[in-house]
Amino acid sequence: MFGVVVRRLALGVPTIFAATLLLFVSVAKLGSPAAEMLGQDATPDAIAALNLKYGFDKPVLEQYLNWLASALHGDLGRSYVSQELVSETLIHALPVSLELAFWAFLFALLASVILNTVPVGRSLLTPFTTSLNVIGMAVPNFMLGLFLIFFFAIRLKILPTTGWVGWDQGPFEHLRHLVLPVLTLAAYYFATFSIIYRAEFLSVQRRLFVRVAAAKGLSNWHVAFTHILPNAILPVITIAGLSIGQAIGGAVVTETIFSMPGVGGLFVSSIVGHDFPTMLAIGMITVAGVVLFNTIADLLLAIVNPLIRMS
């Protein structure tokens, strides 16, 4: 089990460095950030002074190593735009994104597993789930979010359109503001899980031990939930880890539509505003997140599956 983690990290940690280096080099090729920051009527002297201050005049590799050294100490630099500490901004934004992702993930997992496991009414449920899969797979998040806002917030007026309300203003208001973003983000997760889980469920269903369980006199529900589910859910765990990257993209869009103060929204504004320290930091967090979640997925798989756990 320990080996699984080591193997993942041995590949993952260099990946994080490689990705940030790539990002850093390409950003540096864009031109002088100093000129960017000072605007069009900056004097050459002012640019040179700023270059000196931030070390923009040094070789790219040296700049990267400096950045990396301070990043590893928790110092991600200051935003070019707001002049605030990037780490400070991120600490406020990260919980928002993580909570959004957590609920969406949970909701998608429960919905996809339950809808594909329930042994009754398959003739109605299957077309329904299949349509949801296609929608989740192919309909862009922003489109989904917009439709949800239009129906639930503008037409029915039962949910708020956009925005974020903290826990301190009451859990009910907080969760009410989360419903639509969570549904929007959950769509992609749902489709990914549902497609994999369903295929796996059908193949497990054909295995002999399922028939044996039925021969014991267990009900269809019992067989589906206690015998097929635990076997069919294993690949979903792997896919959940692998799809985290694509889901981050979905989170960026979702946070933008619903004007949430999360990392995704911050990322878009940092790109639009050419705020490279923020962009780099988020890039690093994204890659680290991908690596981390893949490792967790492998670990979970090892815990659930006795075959791997024993070896």
Partner 1 sequence: MTATDTTRRLEISSIKSFGEYAWKRLSARPRLTVGCILVAFVVFMGIFAPWIAPNDPSESSINVLIGPTHANWFGTDDLGRDVFSRVIYGARTSLIIGIGGAVVAVLVGAPIGLLAGYLGGVVDLILVPVIDLFLAMPALVLALIIITMVGASFGNIVLVLGFVMWPIIARLVRGQALTVKTQPFVDAAKVAGAGPIWIMRKHVWPNLMRVIAAQFAIIVSFCIFTSASLSFLGLGVPPPTPDWGGMVRTGSDFLSINPLMSLAPGLAVAVTAVGFYLMGSAVE
Partner 2 sequence: MSALFAFESAVLMTEDDPLQAEQPLIDVRHLRVQFGRNCALDDVSFGIGRGKTVALVGESGSGKSTVALSIMGLLPQGADVKTQGSVVFDGGTENQKDLFALSERERRKVRGKDISMIFQDPMSSLNPVYTIQSQICEAIRAHQKCSRGESKSRALDLLTSLGVPNPANCLSSYPHQLSGGMRQRVMIAMALACGPSLLIADEPTTALDATIQAQLLELFKAVQARTGMAILFITHNIGIVAEMADEVMVMYAGQLVEAGPTSSVLQNPKMPYTKALLRSVPVLGRRRQSGDVLEAIPGQVPCVSGQYQGCRFFARCRYAEAGICDLATPPLERVESAHLARCFKWKSVQEAAQ
Binding site for partner 2 (CB under 8 A): 207-209, 211-219, 227, 230-231, 304-307, 310
> Binding to partner 1 by residue 250, rule CB under 8 A?
yes
* Nearest residue (CB) to partner 1, 16 versus 109: 16
The region that residue 217 occupies, defined by phi over 0 for left and psi between -120 and 50 for alpha, beta otherwise, is left
* Nearest residue (CB) to partner 2, 163 versus 230: 230
Q: Which does 135 bind (CB under 5 to 8 A by kind): partner 2, partner 1, none?
A: partner 1
User: Is 75 in contact with 221 (CB distance < 8 Å)?
Assistant: no
Helices 2-29, 60-72: axis angle to 10 degrees equals 130
Count CA atoms within 13 Å of residue 27 on its CB side.
24
Distance of closest approach, residue 295 Cβ to partner 2, in angstroms: 22
From the list 43-51, 109-117, 139-147, 207-215, the region that binds partner 1 by CB under 8 A is: 139-147
> Binding to partner 1 by residue 29, rule CB under 8 A?
yes
Q: Which residue has the tokens 């993952």?
A: 12
Distance of closest approach, residue 215 Cβ to partner 2, in angstroms: 5
Applying CB under 8 A, what is the total number of residues that bind partner 1?
A: 45
Distance of closest approach, residue 118 Cβ to partner 1, in angstroms: 22
Q: Which does 13 bind (CB under 5 to 8 A by kind): partner 2, partner 1, none?
A: none
Q: How far apart are CA 281 and CA 161, in angstroms?
A: 30
Tell which one of 21, 87, 142, 179 touches partner 1 (CB under 8 A): 142
Helices 171-205, 244-257: axis angle to 10 degrees equals 150
Find the binding residues for partner 1 in span 75-134 (CB under 8 A): 134
From the list 1-9, 200-208, 223-231, 284-292, the region that binds partner 1 by CB under 8 A is: 284-292
Distance of closest approach, residue 63 Cβ to partner 2, in angstroms: 51
> Binding to partner 1 by residue 287, rule CB under 8 A?
yes
Distance of closest approach, residue 31 Cβ to partner 1, in angstroms: 10
Q: Which of 106, 60, 23 is nearest to 276 (CA)?
A: 23
> Binding to partner 1 by residue 216, rule CB under 8 A?
no
Q: Which does 259 bind (CB under 5 to 8 A by kind): partner 2, partner 1, none?
A: none
Tell which one of 8, 266, 267, 301 touches partner 1 (CB under 8 A): 267
Tell which one of 77, 262, 277, 283 touches partner 1 (CB under 8 A): 283
Please report, as ranges, the residues that interact with partner 1 according to CB under 8 A. 11, 15, 18-19, 23, 26-27, 29-30, 134-135, 137-143, 146-147, 149-150, 154, 242, 245-250, 252-253, 256-257, 267-268, 271-272, 274, 279, 283, 286-287, 290, 294
